C-alpha cells in the first residue's frame, strides 16, 4: 500500500492547486480524480469552456453587427458553424486539462483515477478500473459541486438541460428559456442570444444577479434588455414540462398570476450544490451540515483533525479562485506556516459583455451594517478608450468610508471589468483610501481610468472628465 503525507480528493482548481503547493513544500502528495481528465468542473464543463464559447460568439456578433461601422465589409453571408465552435471549445479544454497533467508530473504528484472513498480517517479506497487503497497522513477534500435543480424538474439532458449540456448543443435554440438569472444562466444565455436564439430569463428574485450590488444589477438588466433579452424577475417557476421538442415552463409572477413560457430548450441554472456522493465521509468521522456541505473551522479543518476541506464543498462563494486560495491555505497550514485569506476580498465576476465585477461590500450591506459611506461613480461612456472601441455601457462605482476614506467596495459594469477588478483587490488588500487611487497615474487611454475617476468622485466629488 502506498503511503502519502497528503492525499487530495478532487482535481478541480482547489484540489490541483492544493496538491501542487503541498508538493512544493516537500510533502509526498497524491491526487484522486473520478473522471478521465483532471481540472474538475471549472476546466472541463465550467469556467474555461463557457469563456471559450463566450469569446467565439462575441466574435460572431461583432462580425454581423459592428464590423461595418468599423469600415470592415464582409461579402456574402456570415454563418455560424456551431459544430466547429464547440470543437474549438473542446480543444481549449483539452489543452488546459493537459496542462494540469504536465503540472502533476512536474511536481511528482501521483495521480489516481477513480472514485475516492474514505475507509477510515487515514485510508482511502479508490475505485476505478481496479480498486486500490492508499494511506494518507492528511487528506484534503476538494470534491466540488454539481448543478442544482428544483424538486419538480426532470432534467432529461436533451431539452431540459444544465450548464453541462448547454456547452455542447448540436443546434442553436430557437427559444432558450433560462431558469435563474445568476452568473451561469446569463453567460450561457448570452452565448446563444448572440448566435440567434430568443432568450427568456425567469428569475425568482426581484432582480438578476441578486447577490451583487443593486446598481450593478440594474445596469446589467438595462444592457441585456437593449440586447433583446427578455428578463422576467419576481417569477416563481412551478412546473417545467417537455412535450415532444417543446418545453413549457409555468410560473407565477409577482401579482400571483400564472405565466407560461414555451421554448425548444430550457436551461436550469438555479445554483450549485456541494458534491460528496461516494465520499463515505461518515466512515472517517467527517461531519456534513444539513445542506450537504462539509463542516470546517477557520483553518478549513473538518471534525477530524487530519482531514481538511476546500472549495465548493465548504461554506462561502462557489468560485474557482476562492478554492485555489483555500488550497494554498491548507497546504501552508500543514507545513506549519500561518497563511491568511480575507474572504471579503475575493472578487466576483460575470463574463457577459459588458462584464460585471465586484469586490468588497455592496451598498445594501453597508446600509445594513450602519456604516457611513460615500459613493463615487464614473460612466464608461465618458472614457476615450471606451468610445474608441464602442464599449460605452456601464460604470465604475467606488464605495469609501465617509470618515476615513478607506475603500470598502468597488463595483463595475463594462468592457474588461473582469481584469480591472484586480486593481481594486490590490488597493483594498493594502487598505487604500479612495484618494490613494485618485493620486496614482493611470495610463491614457485605458478602461482603468474609470477606476481613478470613480475614486476622484468618491474622494471629494472631483472627477475630471464628467
What positions carry a catalytic annotation? 444
Q: How far apart are CA 453 and CA 265, in angstroms?
A: 43
Cα 242–Cα 247–Cα 250 angle in degrees, nearest 5: 100
User: What whole-number distance in Å separates Cα of residue 403 and Cα of residue 5?
Assistant: 50
Name the nearest CA neighbour of 348 among 215, 202, 160, 209: 209
Longest dimension (CA), the chain: 69
Please list the alpha-helical segments (H only) found in 5-122.
13-24, 40-45, 47-65, 82-106
CA atoms within 13 A on the CB side of 18: 36
The single residue listed with the C-alpha cell 490613494 is 436
SS3 of 30, please?
strand
Distances (CA, A) of 22 to 53, 296, 336: 34, 20, 12
Q: Which of 371, 375, 379 lies closest to 396 in space, CA to CA?
A: 379
Distance CA 293, CA 217 (A): 28
Amino acid at each position: 500500500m502506498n503511503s502519502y503525507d497528503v492525499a487530495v480528493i478532487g482535481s478541480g482548481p482547489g484540489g490541483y492547486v492544493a496538491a501542487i503547493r503541498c508538493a512544493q513544500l516537500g510533502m509526498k502528495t497524491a491526487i484522486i480524480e473520478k473522471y478521465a481528465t483532471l481540472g474538475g468542473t471549472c476546466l472541463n464543463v465550467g469556467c474555461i469552456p463557457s469563456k471559450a464559447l463566450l469569446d467565439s460568439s462575441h466574435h460572431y456578433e461583432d462580425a454581423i453587427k459592428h464590423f461595418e461601422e468599423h469600415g470592415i465589409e464582409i461579402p456574402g453571408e456570415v454563418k455560424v458553424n456551431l459544430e466547429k465552435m464547440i470543437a474549438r471549445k473542446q480543444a481549449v479544454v483539452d489543452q488546459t486539462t493537459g496542462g494540469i497533467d504536465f503540472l502533476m508530473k512536474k511536481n511528482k504528484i501521483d495521480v489516481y483515477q477513480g472514485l475516492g472513498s474514505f475507509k477510515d480517517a487515514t485510508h482511502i479506497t479508490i475505485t476505478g478500473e481496479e480498486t486500490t487503497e492508499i494511506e494518507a497522513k492528511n487528506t484534503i477534500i476538494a470534491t466540488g459541486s454539481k448543478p442544482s435543480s428544483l424538486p419538480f424538474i426532470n432534467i432529461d439532458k436533451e431539452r431540459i438541460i444544465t450548464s453541462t449540456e448547454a456547452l455542447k448543443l448540436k443546434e442553436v435554440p430557437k427559444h432558450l428559456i433560462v431558469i435563474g438569472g445568476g452568473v451561469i444562466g446569463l453567460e450561457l444565455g448570452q452565448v446563444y442570444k448572440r448566435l440567434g436564439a430568443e432568450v427568456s430569463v425567469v428569475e425568482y428574485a426581484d432582480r438578476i444577479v441578486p447577490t451583487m450590488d443593486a446598481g450593478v444589477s440594474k445596469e446589467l438588466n438595462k444592457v441585456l434588455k437593449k440586447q433583446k433579452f427578455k428578463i422576467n424577475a419576481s417569477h416563481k417557476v412551478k412546473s417545467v414540462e417537455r412535450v415532444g421538442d417543446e418545453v413549457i415552463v409555468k410560473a407565477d409572477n409577482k401579482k400571483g398570476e400564472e405565466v407560461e413560457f414555451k421554448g425548444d430548450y430550457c436551461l436550469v441554472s438555479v445554483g450549485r450544490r456541494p458534491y460528496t456522493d461516494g465520499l463515505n465521509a461518515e466512515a472517517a468521522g467527517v461531519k456534513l451540515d444539513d445542506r450537504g456541505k462539509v463542516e470546517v473551522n477557520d483553518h478549513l479543518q473538518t471534525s477530524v483533525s487530519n482531514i481538511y476541506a476546500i472549495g465548493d464543498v465548504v461554506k462561502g462563494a462557489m468560485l474557482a479562485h476562492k478554492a485555489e486560495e483555500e488550497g494554498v491555505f491548507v497546504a501552508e497550514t500543514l507545513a506549519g506556516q500561518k497563511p491568511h485569506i480575507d474572504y471579503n476580498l475575493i472578487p466576483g465576476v460575470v463574463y457577459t459583455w459588458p462584464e460585471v465585477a465586484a469586490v468588497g461590500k455592496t451598498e445594501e450591506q453597508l446600509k445594513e451594517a450602519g456604516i457611513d459611506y460615500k459613493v463615487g461613480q464614473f460612466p464608461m461612456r465618458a472614457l476615450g478608450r471606451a468610445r474608441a472601441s464602442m464599449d460605452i455601457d456601464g460604470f465604475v462605482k467606488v464605495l469609501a468610508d465617509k470618515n476615513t476614506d478607506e475603500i470598502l467596495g468597488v463595483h463595475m459594469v463594462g468592457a474588461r471589468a473582469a481584469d480591472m477588478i484586480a486593481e481594486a483587490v490590490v488597493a483594498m488588500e493594502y487598505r487604500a483610501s479612495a484618494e490613494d487611487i485618485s493620486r496614482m497615474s493611470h495610463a491614457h487611454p485605458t478602461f482603468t481610468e474609470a477606476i481613478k475617476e470613480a475614486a476622484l468622485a468618491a474622494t471629494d466629488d472631483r472627477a475630471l472628465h464628467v
